[in-house]
């Protein structure tokens, strides 16, 4: 559990927030945060792919399936967000 905590600790996100805020300001930082939230469901499904496929398919195949699933779902989320004026 400690490894999962460390892996999900928001160090990179906090650093990115600070960099975006410093270069582009509040509105850009809020838009970045909204984008993170929109991409959270595809990321969760990616992790679920690893959880369920790893015992059956092995590491490489389950990782490839998870990453491809993430990319497809992230693309769909991007198209939908753009359609509704968010992208």
Q: Is the pLDDT of residue 86 over 80?
A: no
Q: How many structural domains comprise the chain? A: 1
Domain limits at 52?
Answer: 10-83
Residue 5 within a domain: no
Q: How far is the C-alpha of 18 from the C-alpha of 42, rounded, in Å?
A: 24
Q: Residue 4: inside a domain, yes or no?
A: no
Specify if 1 maps to a domain: no
Give the Cα separation of 37 and 58 in Å (integer): 30
1-10, 56-65, 71-80: lowest mean pLDDT where? 1-10
Q: Is residue 27 part of a domain?
A: yes
pTM: 0.82
Using a 10 angstrom Cβ sphere, with 0-12 exposed, 13-18 middle and 19 or more buried, the burial of residue 81 is middle
Domain presence at residue 64: yes
- Is 46 a domain residue? yes
Eight-class DSSP state of 58: -
50 lies in some domain: yes
């Amino acid at each position: 559990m400690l490894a999962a905590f460390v892996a999900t600790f928001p160090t990179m996100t906090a650093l990115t927030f600070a960099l975006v805020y410093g270069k582009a300001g509040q509105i850009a930082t809020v838009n970045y945060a909204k984008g993170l939230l929109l991409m959270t469901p595809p990321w969760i499904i990616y992790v679920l792919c690893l959880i369920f496929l790893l015992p059956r398919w092995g590491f490489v195949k389950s990782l490839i399936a998870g990453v491809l699933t993430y990319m497809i779902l992230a693309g769909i989320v991007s198209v939908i967000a753009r359609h509704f004026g968010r992208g």
